[in-house]
Amino acid sequence: MGGKAGAASSSLTRNQSQANHRVTSVDVAAESGVSQTTVARVFSSPDKVSPATRERVRVAAERLGYVPNAIARSLKSQRTNIVGAVVPAYGEYWQSVLAEFSRQLAERSYQLLVFSFGTPRDVDGALASVAQYRLDGVVLASATIGQAQLVGMRSSERPSVAFNQPAAEGVVPSVSVDNEAGMAELAEHLVKLGIETAAYIGGVSSASTDQVRYRGAVQTLAEHGVACPYIEAGAYTYDAGYKAAAQLAQRDRLPDAVMVGSDEVAFGVLDGLANAGISVPGDLLLTGFDGLPQASWAGYDLTTLVQTTDVLVARAIDVLMGSGAGPQEKPVSIVVPGAIRIGKTTRKSSA
């Protein structure tokens, strides 16, 4: 039929398995002597076809190497079986969240389409891109997605959920760990250990998670008369933490405890302090936040707040799948508690 020539198939006897892979349900229909409708039914609602026909179609499909075209299916059915995720391109935490989403979605026979962005400015591009695919749901991760952008998503009437993004509460359906309470719990823990001074190291001060976590720390500490200045590392990375620690080490007087807004930064702080000759927990206590796997590795053994990522992700998926309800209602905000993990970084050394 006037194909683009290309590989002329080396004129082999057109073997079934290496046949022209443009096999459609129409071809299968012809091969098995039924209508295209019936072929479609065999692959989407098999119980509506008699066993005999079903088998005949299956055999023909196999012989021709037919594979249903999900694109066409999606166009017609308006369902893609794909969930999109808008996430930052960097960061251990987000990687682990993505992995968890991928796992749980796979269990439900959904696929994950990743839209990653390098800088906050690229978010718009990612959001524009995500809108073009008519996905069954969209996960908005990262605290650097602006409020205006969230509002834009809401109007897109496609199920979406903000993941761990306090700024989104009330604007878009959201699922978060209880950032404030979690950090407060860590602060309580420190207070009980008798600290009198403290400092907080955040990643990026404009990130809403950071703000909420800092608030949790500050309020609780203030109740016990402990001040807690904010130090900005500048990024959510190991290196940023390492450098922040170096700066901290040059101060005249070290705080009794340092609360870090995320584990990845905390690892850097820990190593940075060690490099400066400051011992943890000897000279000061240290806490993180997130509960990355590495936090429980014996090498670090960090006191932190463990997010039950599997639960958070499960809730987020529930929200996406169950949002057939009312688009007008006020968006739900699910808050999941975290669990404190005590490691050696706040264990008073017996020395």
Partner DNA sequence: CGACACTATGAATACGTAGTCATTCTGTCA
Partner DNA sequence: TGACAGAATGACTACGTATTCATAGTGTCG
Which residue among 9, 20, 69, 156 contacts DNA (CB under 7 A)? 69
Strands ordered across the beta sheet of 257-260: 230-232, 198-202, 257-260, 285-287
Q: How far is the CB of 65 from its own copies (least distance, A)?
A: 8
Q: How far is the CB of 335 from its own copies (least distance, A)?
A: 26
The CA-CA-CA angle for residues 182, 188, 192, to 5°, reads 150
Which residue among 9, 35, 119, 206 contacts DNA (CB under 7 A)? 35
Q: Is 68 in the site for its own copies (CB under 8 A)?
A: yes
Cα–chain center distance at 253: 39
Which residue among 117, 200, 236, 289 contacts its own copies (CB under 8 A)? 117
Which residue among 49, 86, 226, 260 contacts DNA (CB under 7 A)? 49
Q: How far apart are CA 51 and CA 44, in angstroms?
A: 14
Tokens in use for 109?
């026979």
Tokens in use for 57?
């179609």
The CA-CA-CA angle for residues 275, 277, 280, to 5°, reads 95
Binding mask 48-67 for its own copies (x = CB under 8 A): -----------------x-x
Count Cα neighbours of 159 within 13 Å in the Cβ-side half-sphere. Answer: 21
Q: Is 106 in the site for its own copies (CB under 8 A)?
A: yes
Q: Is the peptide bond before 68 cis (omega within 30 degrees of 0)?
A: no
Positions 81 through 100 that interact with its own copies (CB under 8 A): 82, 89-90, 92, 95-96, 98-99
In the complex with its own copies, the residue whose CB is nearer, 50 or 275, is 275
Which residue among 9, 16, 18, 50 contacts DNA (CB under 7 A)? 50
What secondary structure does DSSP assign to 211-267, as a single string? HHHHHHHHHHHHHTT----EEE-SSSSHHHHHHHHHHHHTSSS--SEEEESSHHHHH
Q: Which residues bind its own copies (CB under 8 A)?
A: 7, 10, 17-18, 21, 65, 67-75, 80, 82, 89-90, 92, 95-96, 98-99, 102-103, 106, 109, 111-118, 122, 126, 129, 131-134, 155-158, 238, 242, 267-268, 270-272, 274-275, 293-294, 297-300, 326-328
